[in-house]
Amino acid sequence: MREAIFQYLSGNPDAHAKNYSLVYRGPANGIRLSPLYDVNNAAAFRHHFKKARPIMAMSIGTQSNPDAVTEDDFRDFARDCGFPARIVLEEVRAVAGELLDALPVARSLQDPCEAIDLGYADIQQRCRGWWDVAPTMEPDPEWDTGPTP
């Protein structure tokens, strides 16, 4: 769940099924999801395309436009995954906060670069939107059922 939320918040349009893998670390550690790879930010590369469409490879609920994802889309996502919506919405806010904390540090480690600045601004805007709106999210009994992840 956190990986899907991170992919959305980071503006990665290329988070399709082939960009997720499992790693077997032996009988003691079992099988785990591999670290994320092939992660990029669409805004950082828009100038390379004649026409940029903000479409995610995997939707959040029924929404594939990252600029149009709403709380209801994450409620649908939660239901599709079998998680309580409250847990998913809290996790969206938590990951947004972690990214907002990490962005200035990550940016300070890079030389000036227009693409990085565009990606930084895009991620920051998306995360601020969820950080600012999250406290108003009300539980919905219809969608707040399911196992705790």
Tens digit of pLDDT for each residue in 26-69?
999 999 988 888 888 888 887 776 566 678 899 999 999 998 99
DSSP, collapsed to helix, strand or coil, labels residue 69 as coil
C-beta of residue 33 within 8 angstroms of C-beta of residue 22? yes
Name the residue ranges covered by the structural domains of the chain: 2-136
Please report the sign of the dihedral spanned by the C-alpha atoms of residue 118, residue 124, residue 125, residue 126.
positive
Tens digit of pLDDT for each residue in 80-99?
999 999 999 999 999 999 99
At 77, the pLDDT band (50, 70, 90 cuts) reads very high
Listed residue (120, 136, 131) closest to 41, CA to CA: 120
Tens digit of pLDDT for each residue in 99-110?
999 999 988 998
At 127, the pLDDT band (50, 70, 90 cuts) reads very high
Amino acid making up residue 143: W
